[in-house]
Structure 1
Amino acid sequence: MSITLKVNGEPRTVDVDPETPLLWVLRDELKMTGTKFGCGIASCGACTVQWDGMPIRSCQTFIGDLDGAEITTIEGVDGKAASAVQAAWQELDVPQCGYCQSGQVLAATALLEETPKPTDEDIDAAMDGNVCRCATYARIRKAIHLAAEKMEG
């Protein structure tokens, strides 16, 4: 089945089974390997991308449900919130192994686009389900607060 979607602002058409998870279309068909496979059951967040600005788990989102959708991956995330998140991540050395970071960055960016001045509770709710095997949660929270400050200034 031929499915067209916009990935990082660029129209892309793929011919795959409509029940193929978006993760595998991104990685195998479009060769965009920044989105990671973690658990395969939408529990870890490593595969997080944005669908029309909202974070979703690409390992459990079927390509057949996305015809015409706008998808943003770590390769294409941009804008004021994304820049602030990326700068804060670097400034605070958030990543350790880095495996989960594409999903963490996309979730944090979506949070700041929706809630520019998040509380700890907002951050916890938005980042819930994004697992970091290296347990950098305190640095992630601190970086989100720093990114919010950077967006103001």
Structure 2
Amino acid sequence: MRDKQKIRKEIILLARQQPDLALDRVNSLLIEFPNEVWTWSLRSDVYHTSGDLENAMSDIDKAIRIRFDEPSTHATKARYCIQKSDFEGAIFSLSNAIEIGEKLRFSYFDSWCRFNRAFCYCKIGDFEAAKEDLSAVDDNEQTWIDRLRSKAELLEACRDRRLD
């Protein structure tokens, strides 16, 4: 079998131009690999790329059920929750990703997860929890959430006790 990352990249690029064809290809992969996290995650990405957040969420949940201890699937679910303004759901998923990452000594997602969780805490008004997460984030950190956000902006929101 060809490299999973290469297949993923090809299908995601195809999804931007021909989402139905991309979905057909990933469905074929799911027939071949029905119990693999990467195939469910990939179909979730295809649905997300085509704007179908409901099916994207359903498939990422299937990927999580197959292998709970994969931090990237929890981070993806959190991103979808944020898009749906389900900030409590996002906090739950981000907390799972952080906890799993710590257990696996896999810090790749830690800063991104803490930054996004701080954003969610601000959205629900828990500014103390947001500040705690931001204390573990690099001062120059910024990422795209609903728009490009910076650590400094989130800290200001904590001081002002409101996030625009």
Q: TM-score, length-normalised on structure 1?
A: 0.34
Question: Which protein is richer in strand relative to its size?
Answer: 1
Max Rg structure: 2
